[in-house]
């Protein structure tokens, strides 16, 4: 994750120091939260309050070139209105037609119908089409899109969830990237930059007391 601006448009993102256990490993760009007053990684499907984005690496082991590597402080981008970004999630299609793209539920692991309606699918050739319907079945999920290219098995599509979308993704092991999932992750989509392949996000609940729930 990379901080890009605050909700009001200000781009001067600043980080503050927070206490951390000396042996806690966190990578720069990870989504973090507070636990018993210390910074820890947010859960992969974190639905609670989020503190922000780690602004530095804290491997939790001694490093002669970095005295903070196992120190007791870590810098965090912690503005409650912080907008941050990461690569848009991708999935391998299982097939489709001129107006549909299908994927196994293991590739697009959400059971909520219509959750991606209004989002954008981008094909391997770069063609972008709006999702008009998203249907869930026991083994296959189907995106309905305007007529165009026919999806083939193993084609990798990029998915830009609709603005305001929550509950359709989780975080990877490092808490830096999005994974399509059934998890009720406490992040919401607030925009995207398709030229760069990025999704913009905000915390739904923030550790400093702000609830950004108006757009969910």
Band of residue 216 on the pLDDT scale cut at 50, 70, 90 = very low
Q: Domain check: are 48 and 140 in the same one? A: no
pLDDT at 83 over 50: yes
- State the CATH number of the domain containing residue 43: 2.40.300
Between 111 and 27, the more confident residue is 27
Q: Domain check: are 91 and 126 in the same one? A: yes
Number of domains observed in the structure of the chain? 2
The answer to whether residue 203 is domain-embedded is no
pLDDT at 215: 44
- The answer to whether the beta carbons of residues 165 and 189 sit under 8 Å apart is yes
Q: Domain check: are 112 and 26 in the same one? A: no
The answer to whether residue 185 is domain-embedded is yes
Q: Domain check: are 105 and 74 in the same one? A: no
pLDDT one-digit tens code per residue, 87-116 = 999 999 999 999 999 999 888 887 788 999
The answer to whether residue 211 is domain-embedded is no
Q: Tell how far CA 82 is from the center of its chain.
A: 14
pLDDT at 211 over 90: no
Taking phi first (over 0 means left), then psi (-120 to 50 degrees means alpha), and beta for anything else, what does residue 52 get?
Answer: left
This prediction's pTM: 0.90
Q: Tokens 């969830």 label which residue?
A: 161
Distance from C-alpha of 37 to C-alpha of 20, rounded to nearest angstrom = 8
Which of 59, 85, 111 is the last residue in one of the domains?
A: 85
Token code pair at residue 85: 């970004």
Q: Domain check: are 52 and 126 in the same one? A: no
Range of the domain at 40: 2-85
């Amino acid at each position: 994750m990379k901080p890009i601006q605050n909700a009001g448009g200000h781009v001067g993102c600043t980080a503050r120091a927070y206490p951390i256990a000396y042996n806690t490993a966190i990578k720069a760009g990870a989504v973090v939260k507070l636990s018993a007053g210390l910074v820890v990684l947010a859960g992969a499907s974190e639905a609670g309050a989020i503190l922000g984005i780690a602004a530095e690496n804290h491997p939790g082991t001694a490093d002669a070139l970095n005295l903070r590597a196992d120190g007791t402080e870590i810098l965090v981008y912690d503005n409650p209105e912080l907008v941050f970004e990461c690569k848009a999630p991708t999935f391998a299609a299982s097939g489709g037609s001129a107006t549909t793209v299908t994927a196994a539920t293991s590739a697009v692991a959400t059971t909520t119908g219509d959750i991606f309606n209004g989002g954008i699918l981008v094909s391997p050739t770069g063609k972008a089409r709006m999702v008009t319907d998203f249907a869930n079945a026991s083994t296959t999920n189907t995106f309905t899109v305007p007529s165009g290219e026919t999806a083939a098995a193993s084609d990798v599509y990029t998915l830009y969830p609709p603005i305001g979308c929550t509950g359709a993704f989780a975080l990877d092991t490092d808490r830096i990237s999005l994974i399509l999932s059934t998890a009720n992750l406490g992040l919401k989509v607030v925009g995207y930059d398709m030229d760069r392949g990025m999704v913009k996000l905000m915390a739904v609940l923030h550790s400093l007391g702000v609830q950004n729930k108006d757009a969910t």
